Structure 1
Amino acid sequence: MNLYPIEAGNFKLDGGAMFGVVPKTIWQKTNPADNNNLIDIAARCLLVENGNRLTLIDTGMGNKQSDKFYGYYHLWGDHSIDKSLAKYGFSRNDITDVFMTHLHFDHCGGSIEWNKDRTGYQPAFKNAKFWTNKNHWEWAVNPNSREKASFLKENLLPMQESGHLHFMKEPINGDFVEQSELDFGVLFIDGHTEKQMIPHVNYKGKTICFMADLMPTLGHLKVPYVTGYDTRPLLSLDEKAKFLDIAATNNFYLFLEHDAHNEIVTVQHSEKGIVLKERFTCNELFSL
């Protein structure tokens, strides 16, 4: 198995929205804001190569929205999925599976693109199966008013209409699927959104956890630091506390999707609770 970080593009979000009830005087120490209160955010995806299977976990915002839409998110840097794939000798057509942790636009928007004459939409990875889960799909295509702006029909319906959409099996007992249809286990959590999926990849004796929005940045390490976007913040607290306890005990490596400046970290138990243990770049850990 080989792992590769795929940078889908950086953007900015309101720091207050990203940290909910945590005061700015506290969160800006780890996630400094600009003059508009915006903090740096990454869309760092993960490519899993295992034999003939090439699975891309999340796809970023994509490039099919309007300039007005992207203007809200202040894109910066020159990252793209195509550049990142090419860096490792791959192209979109090589991808066999696209796994989406959840269907908010900044996690799945890159899965769908305009067709050639811009009259409609098509899969951006034409040879890939697209994976979500049934409960989350139903949640996304029938959105609540709080999340409606994050579930865009142009991202979702073309997946189904193209025949590329597939559903992961969900846990019968507990919240973890040890052996999924792909090459990793999946933790199902409900605080951020219904049935978000957190992949656990076994790699050279290490467990790599793709954190998605369970812990977007290193600044969100403390249990009470959950985003204002979470639909069930009290559940998020409980889910994150349980996860971090297990992560510290088992020395999980936490792959940070949204942290523009920290890529992978480990955590440990202390008298003050769970704290940072070590930081790694993907190059260091994956020997790229």
Structure 2
Amino acid sequence: MQLDSIEGNTQKLDGGSMFGNCPRALWERWAPADELHRIDLACRCLLIRDEHEGRSRAVLLETGIGAFFEPKLRERFGVQEEEHVLLRSLAALGLRPEQIDVIVLSHMHFDHAGGLLLPWSQTQGALELAFPNATYVVGEDAWARALSPHPRDRASFIPGLCALLESTGRVEIVSGERSDTLGPNYSFSYSEGHTPGLTLTRVQSPRGPITFMGDLIPGAPWVHLPITMGYDRYPERLIEEKRAMLEGVIAEDGWAFYTHDPKIAASKVAVDERGKFRAVETLEHLHWT
């Protein structure tokens, strides 16, 4: 098994929204804002190359925001690049889009699922999948939310994407701990604080377990329990889910993988002398063989 952190398109989003009720004087120590009060965010993915049922395969945890937005919306949501950066990053590792076998999505918000689509510059707004041979693994409740969003988060979903995925005949909807597609080295836990059915994938790697934290813990600053996003639907519930997750990572001496942290791809977690969780042994990039 080989694991690599893969960079996708980057964003600039409002810092206050990303840090909820945390005072700016505090969060700006971690994430300096520009003149529009926006902070830098990554849309990082995790690539796993392993063997399953006697053959080699490529598994991608998420696809980032991609480049599907038209120029006006790309500017509104702070997407920095016109090209589909994830495809370039995969090419640098010798992988073409058609060689991706499985894509796992924590949820269907556009900054996690938009990279499934070819860039607007190629399609002029038509929805076309960038990974033609992949099987798509999605949590049951996350999928249901995308099909029937709440008015509060309706704008976070891509109209027509679920139907496009369904048309491939290669969607596995999961609700338990395991996936038939992925096999025994992968397991799931679920969170409700950010969005219904946020699906957190744990990979049993040769260097120990690593969990893709998605929007439960989008980056190292959010390891601190009180720090939540304005986008979270139930911040208090999310804090308790985060506590349980971090305690579990520490107990198994595992790793946390961060999708939105612009500088840190993964870390271990410790509790300091004040009883606060913090990211330790941080990795800017992850390349495990």
What is the TM-score with the length of structure 1 in the denominator?
Answer: 0.90
For 1:144, the aligned partner's letter is H
Residue matched to 2:261: 259
Among 238, 241, 244, the residue aligned to 2:240: 238
CA distance in 2, matches of 1:114, 1:246: 38
Verify: 1:139 aligned to 2:145, yes or no: yes
Partner of 1:162: 168
Residue in structure 2 matched with residue 61 of structure 1 by the alignment: 65
Structure 2's unaligned 5+ residue stretches are none
Q: CA deviation at 1:69?
A: 0.7
Match of 2:30 in 1: 30
- The one of 72, 77, 92 aligned to 1:87: 92
Question: Residues of 1 paired with 2:219 and 2:158: CA distance?
Answer: 24
- Paired with 2:163 and 2:179, the residues of 1 have a C-alpha distance of 28
- Superposed CA RMSD in Å reads 2.1
Question: Corresponding residue for 2:105?
Answer: 100
State the secondary structure of the residue aligned to 2:231.
coil
Residues 1:218 and 2:220 aligned together: yes
Is 2:111 the partner of 1:111?
no
C-alpha distance in 1 between matches for 2:125 and 2:22: 44
Q: Which amino acid aligns with 2:282?
A: R
Q: Structure 1 vs Structure 2: percent identity of aligned residues?
A: 29
* Structure 1 residue 253, shift from structure 2 partner: 1.1
Q: Deviations over 1:191-232 (max 9, x none)?
A: 110111111111114111111111111111111101111111
Q: Distance in 1 between matches of 2:238 and 2:274?
A: 20
Q: SS at the partner of 1:29?
A: helix
CA contact (8 A) 1:10 1:79 kept: no
1:70 aligns with 2:70: no
Residue 12 of structure 2: aligned partner: 12
- Whether contact under 8 Å (2:47, 2:59) holds in the other structure is yes
Q: Cα–Cα, structure 1 residues 144 and 179, in superposed 2: closer, same or farther, change >3 Å?
A: closer
C-alpha contact (below 8 Å) 1:6/1:45 kept by paired residues: yes
> Could you list the per-position Cα deviations for residues 59-101 of structure 1 after superposition, in whole angstroms to 9, with x for gaps in the alignment?
1122222111110132336871121111111110101111111
Shift, 1:149, TM fit: 0.6
SS in 1 for 2:35: coil
Counterpart-to-counterpart distance in 2, 1:267 and 1:63: 33
Structure 1 segment 177-216 matched on structure 2, within 5 A: 177=177, 181-182=181-182, 183-216=185-218
| Contact 2:69 2:119 (C-alpha < 8 Å) held by counterparts | no
Aligned residues: 280
Q: 1:53 to 1:268 in 2, by over 3 A?
A: same
1:147 Cα deviation from its structure 2 partner: 0.7
Deviation, 1:164, is 3.1
Distance in 2 separating the partners of 1:5 and 1:114: 21
The change in CA–CA distance for 1:37 and 1:122 in structure 2 (over 3 A counts) is same
User: Normalising by the residue count of structure 2, what TM-score does the alignment of the two structures yield?
Assistant: 0.90
Work out the CA distance in 2 between the residues paired with 1:124 and 1:69: 20
Q: Whole-Å Cα distance in 1 between the matches of residues 109 and 42 of structure 2?
A: 15
Q: Give the CA deviation at 1:142.
A: 0.6
TM-superposition CA deviations, 1:207-261 (whole Å, max 9, x none): 1111111111111111110111111111101100111112222222111110011
CA distance in 2 between counterparts of 1:134 and 1:179 reads: 12
Quote the offset at 1:278 in angstroms: 1.6
Q: Per the alignment, in what secondary structure is the counterpart of residue 209 of structure 1?
A: strand
Q: 1:118 to 1:256 in 2, by over 3 A?
A: same
Unaligned runs of 5+ in 1: 172-176
Given the superposition, is the C-alpha separation of residues 161 and 114 from structure 1 closer, same or farther in structure 2, using an over 3 Å criterion?
A: farther
* Contact 1:180–1:186 (Cα < 8 Å) also in 2: no
**Residue identity opposite 1:184 in structure 2:** Y
**Alignment partner, residue 152 of structure 1:** 158
